[in-house]
Amino acid sequence: MHTFINNKQEIPVVSHLKPDGGVWTVKEKLWLGLSREDYKAQFLRNPVNWVLIFIFAIGVPLLIQRYLFGLDTVTHASNDYPWGLFLGFGLFGMVPLSASGFLLGTTVEIFGRKDFAPIERLALLNGLLGYFFAVVYLLVDLGMPWRLYYPMFISLGPAAVLFLVAWHVATYLSVQIAEVSSAYFEWVGWLKGKRFVKSITIGLTIAGIILSTLHQGALGALFTYAPTKVHPLWFSANFQWIHFFCSAIFAGLSMVICSATLCKHFMIWRCDRRFLDNVDRCTLGLGKGCAYALITYLVIKLVGVAHDQDWAYLLTGWGQYFLLEMAVAVVLPMILFAYGVKHRRVAMVRFAALISVLGIVWNRLNTSMICFNWQLYQEIPHWKEVWITITIFALYFIVYRFILYRLPILYEWRGEK
* pLDDT, tens only, 79-105: 888 888 999 999 999 999 999 988 999
- Domain ranges across the chain: 1-32, 46-406
Instruction: Compare 395 and 143 and report the one with higher pLDDT.
Output: 395
Helix (H, G, I), strand (E, B) or coil at 285: helix
Confidence class for position 143, pLDDT limits 50, 70, 90:
confident
CATH of domain 46-406: 1.20.1630.10
Calpha distance 220→238 (Å, rounded): 11
Calpha distance 392→90 (Å, rounded): 9
* Whether the bond into 12 is cis, omega within 30 of 0: yes
The per-residue pLDDT for range 255-307, each reduced to its tens digit, is: 999 999 999 999 999 999 999 999 999 999 999 999 999 999 999 999 999 99
Calpha distance 118→115 (Å, rounded): 7
| Cα dihedral sign, 313-314-316-321 | positive
pTM given for the model: 0.93
Contact 221, 241 (CB under 8 A): yes
Judged by phi (left if over 0) then psi (alpha if -120 to 50, else beta), residue 105 lies in alpha
Contact 257, 100 (CB under 8 A): no
Contact 128, 173 (CB under 8 A): yes
